[in-house]
Amino acid sequence: MNDEIRKIEPSVVWNNFVNLNAIPRPSGQVEKVRAFLLDFGRSLNLETIEDSTGNVIIKKPATQGYEDRETVVLQGHMDMVAQKNSDVEHNFSTQGIQMFIDGDWVKARGTTLGADNGLGVSAILAILESDTLSHPPLEALITYDEETGMTGAMELDNDVLRGSILLNLDTEEDDEIDMGCAGGIDVTAFKTYTPENPLPDSAGFQLVLSGLNGGHSGMDIHKGLGNANKLINRILYVAYNKCKIQIGTVEGGGLRNAIPRESLVHFTAQKNVASQLETILQREIDYIKEEYKSVEPNLKMVIKEVETPDQVLGHRDTAALLNTIYAAHNGVYRMSPDIPDLVETSNNVASVVVQNGQIQIKCLTRSAIETGKRDLVNVLTATFRQGGFQVTTAANYPGWKPNPDSKVLEVVVDTYQQQNGTQPKVVACHAGLECGILLSHYPKMDAVSFGPTIKGAHSPDECASISSTQKFWKLLLGVLENIPKEKGVLK
């Protein structure tokens, strides 16, 4: 079926996308795709560089008549989010993505599609290999491990680029032109515990929550979607206070930038409260299903009796865990008072793992302003420390401050209007784009971000619009043709 996708127009983009998706490229395992990109540039006899940290830069001279235009940096990232449905067998480390066409959408078979940011990168590759398209001098910058902390952008060498214009091709609504984004920071809470034997006459239970939509922890955080870690904790909190259950193991969520879709918990309760426990659990499950029926219609929770775990958390540690997760803020923390409908600050309780004497809770906190980010980190730190957790932060990256006077923004908006007859939405987004980081390395650059429509990014429901990709490709080519001639006009 992937061969059918090669035939979609613009075939130059989709053909590169199929080639890219044949290469395993989850974050943290980008060696193969990096080698592919280096071979791609060198096969075209273009100047191809791997900087000291592993980013790939491919430079292409201007086409005839465009030699005096400003140099443009076309930018995307080589890695993808690796998420799959629990009933799908797929190894992201060794297998490419299996795709199919569904009407106007390209989808994957039970996994993330990799359109984020594979379609943007594929468009860059299509321009690099073309001998017919008109464009100014180009520098293609493909960064690594964007999805796990924007590592490539953070560690980019400061002397590999000469361009004065940055076109980031990593947004997901084709009628939006981004001029700003949120920054982010990982917040991790850690605690050890001494495993105990279950109380005498205890029975073992398993609670599985699945079927949530998941999604992008920035772009989808305002939609009121279910967070598997928070919902299952809500149920267990009530069960503990009524029946004094003891937690055995927890496996909830996964990637920090994906709203968690599934969670699995093993726990114990004494046999004399088993019937009462099941009634309590079912009542809480019914409450949650009723509350979320419009946004999470596929929400599924299954309780079953299983073999009693050999080791569990003691009552004090169980209470501390459940109280802490219940209190930890999740979702929108503050809306922007200056930009309508923009989430300013948020948190995603992304992962909860309890096993072998260790508890780890991972969060991704985002904010459009540094003070807001710091405030929410302090809230989370105080919450976790109340539960006896140690707290660390990492992968702190800045936001991208909006510049409404950007000259390249004016070029993109004018080109969009000429092509479509309508004005695009000029926005700042709550996702983490690499622009703010790249501008910290190259502060004289003028930046803008746009891309094709992609739905469900960071989840197995991810899909890319075919007609939107055609629209995006046309806009990208038009912008490159309209880059002004006068040197320094955008500086």
| Residue 161 token pair | 């680029």
Q: Is 218 helix (H, G, I), strand (E, B) or coil?
A: coil
| Residue 345 token pair | 């600050």
Q: How far is CA 285 from CA 65, 225, 303, 346, 414, in A?
A: 66, 16, 10, 26, 51
Contact call for residues 15 and 106 (beta carbons, < 8 A)? no
Report domain 2-182+400-482's class: alpha beta
- Of the candidates 259, 232, 264, the residue with the CA atom closest to the CA atom of residue 430: 259
Which helix or strand (DSSP H or E) is residue 249 part of? strand 246-253
- CA torsion, ordered 160, 163, 165, 168, to nearest 10 deg: -30
Could you read off the pLDDT of 405-441 as tens digits, one per residue? 999 999 999 999 999 999 999 999 998 899 999 999 9
Fold of 185-397: Alpha-Beta Plaits (3.30.70)
Residue 236: phi and psi, rounded to 5, are -70, -30
Contact call for residues 473 and 130 (beta carbons, < 8 A)? no
Q: What gap in Å lies between CA 338 and CA 190, rounded to an integer?
A: 36
Q: What gap in Å lies between CA 99 and CA 108, rounded to an integer?
A: 4
Q: Judge whether 2-182+400-482 and 185-397 match in fold.
A: no
Pairing of strands 176-181, 425-429: parallel
What is the chain's pLDDT, residue by residue, as a tens digit (491 residues)? Answer: 688 999 999 999 999 999 999 999 999 999 999 999 999 999 999 999 999 999 999 999 999 999 999 999 999 999 999 999 888 999 999 999 999 999 999 999 999 999 999 999 999 999 999 999 999 999 999 999 999 889 999 999 999 999 999 999 999 999 999 999 999 999 999 999 999 999 999 999 999 999 999 999 999 999 999 999 999 999 999 999 999 999 999 999 988 999 999 999 999 999 999 889 999 999 999 999 999 999 999 999 999 999 999 999 999 999 999 999 999 999 999 999 988 899 999 999 999 999 999 999 999 999 999 999 999 999 999 999 999 999 999 989 989 988 889 999 999 999 999 999 999 999 999 988 999 999 999 999 999 999 999 999 988 999 999 999 999 999 999 999 999 985 544 43
Q: How far is CA 26 from CA 89, 91, 148, in A?
A: 16, 10, 10
Q: What is the pLDDT of residue 486?
A: 57
How many other CB atoms sit within 10 Å of the CB of residue 52? Answer: 9
Q: What gap in Å lies between CA 79 and CA 386, rounded to an integer?
A: 37
Q: How far is CA 176 from CA 53, 425, 450, 490, in A?
A: 32, 5, 7, 21
User: Would you kindly state where each structural domain of the chain is located, as residue ranges?
Assistant: 2-182+400-482, 185-397
- Of the candidates 394, 338, 386, the residue with the CA atom closest to the CA atom of residue 362: 394
DSSP letters, 374-420, are HHHHHHHHHHHHHTT-EEEEEEEE--B---TT-HHHHHHHHHHHHHH
Annotated catalytic residues are 79, 146
